[in-house]
Copies of this chain bind each other. A is one copy, B any other.
Amino acid sequence: MTELKNDRFLRALLREPVDVTPVWMMRQAGRYLPEYRATRAKAGSFLDLCKNPELACEVTIQPLDRYPLDAAILFSDILTIPDAMGLGLFFETGEGPRFERPVRTLTDIDRLGVPDIEDELGYVTEAVRVIRRELDGRVPLIGFSGSPWTLATYMVEGGSSKDFAKVKGLMFDEPAAMHKLLGVVADTVTAYLNAQIAAGAQAVMIFDTWGGALTPRDYQAFSLDYMARIVAGLKREAEGRRVPVILFTKGGSNWLERMAGAGADALGLDWTIDIGEARRRVGERVALQGNMDPCILYASPPRIREEVADILAAWGEGPGHVFNLGHGIHPHIDPENVGEFVRAVHELSAPYHH
C-alpha cells in the first residue's frame, strides 16, 4: 500500500500531536456539490450509485478535489446491511428509504442471519479497494456502518419514522425478540466493518442516528451495549497501524461519559453541547469529533470563520480534536462556504498546535 501523505486525521483520533486540526464533513460527498449531482444523474438512482464501485469512488473523491479535507469517507448508505439481510431496500421518489419486507414478528427475526459479506456486500468492499487505489495515500479512508439500534428502527418501521412506534412497541413488549434482532444485526455490522478494514478502510465510524430517541436506560441496553460489542469484535490494526473507531450518537450528549467507556477511540458530537464541556466530561479517555451546527454554512463567510474560531477556542490546546459538523452537510449549502469553513479550520487552528 502507498504511504499515507496526510495522517493528521488518524493521529488526532489517537490523541497524538498534529500540525493543524484535521477536518472533514459528514456527507461531504453529497448533493451540495454540482459534480455529485452530475455523477448521481449518470448513475441512475441513489442505490445504483451506492452499488457501483467506480461511481462510488468518483463521488467519494470529488470533495477532496475541491477542498483540502483530511479524510475521505466511503460513499455508501447505512441501509446496505438490511438490504443484504434480505429486506429489499428501495427508494420511492420524493420519499425516504423503504423496505419491501420489514421485520415485524419473532418469525421474521428468526429468519434473519448474518449474510456473507463478500456475496451480498461485495460492492462495498470493492468500492473501498477502488477508492484506496484512487486516493493513492492522499488522506485516510473512513469506513462506516449504522448502529444496530438505528438499523433496527428502519428494519422494523419499514422505512423512516418520526415516532418509532413499531420498533419501540417491539422493544417494550418483546425485549427478548428485540435483543435477538439487535444481536444478529450487531454480528453483521462487525463482519461488515471488518471486511471494510480488510479491504482498506483506515478508520471506521458507527452512526447511531436514532440512539437519541431513547431513554438513558434503553439507550444503554438497546444501543450502546451493541455498539460496544461491535467495537470489541473489530480488527483494530491494519497495514501496521491502529484503525481508530469513532462512535456517533446524534442527541447523545447526555450520556457521553458512558459512551467514552464503550471501547472506541473517539466520539462524534452533535452541536447541542459545548465541545469544551464535552472534553472535560470525557477526560483523556477518547478523542472528540465535531461539532459545528451545519446551519452555520448558510451564513456569510466571516460568520463561518467566527464560529470555527469559537469552537477551536472552546476545545483549547492539546491533541484529540477532529473538526467536523455536528451532522451531515445540507443539500442547499453553497460550496464556496464549505471552502471558507475548511480553510478557517486549518488556518485558525495552527496557533493551538505547537
Q: Interface on A for B, CB 8 Å cutoff?
A: 163-165, 168-169, 172-173, 212, 214-218, 251, 253-254, 271-274, 277, 293-296, 298-300, 303, 307, 310, 330, 332
Total identical chains: 2
Using known A-B contacts A272-B212, A272-B251, A273-B216, determine if residue A298 contacts B172 with beta carbons closer than 8 Å. Answer: yes
B303 and A173 contact, CB distance less than 8 A: yes
- Which residues from chain B contact A294 at a C-beta distance below 8 Å? 163
A277 to B254, CA, bound (A): 11
- Which residues from chain B contact A254 at a C-beta distance below 8 Å? 253-254, 272-273
Q: A215-B274, A254-B254 are in contact. List 11 more A-B contacts (CB 8 A).
A: A169-B298, A172-B303, A172-B307, A173-B299, A173-B303, A212-B272, A214-B272, A215-B271, A215-B293, A216-B277, A217-B310
Say what secondary structure dominates the interface of chain A: helix
- Which residues from chain B contact A163 at a C-beta distance below 8 Å? 294-295, 330
- Which of A172, A212, A254 is packed against the most chain B CB atoms within 10 Å? A172
Supply 8 A–B pairs (Cβ within 8 Å), ascending by A. A163-B294, A163-B330, A165-B330, A169-B299, A173-B300, A214-B272, A216-B272, A251-B251
Using known A-B contacts A173-B300, A254-B254, determine if residue A168 contacts B215 with beta carbons closer than 8 Å. Answer: no
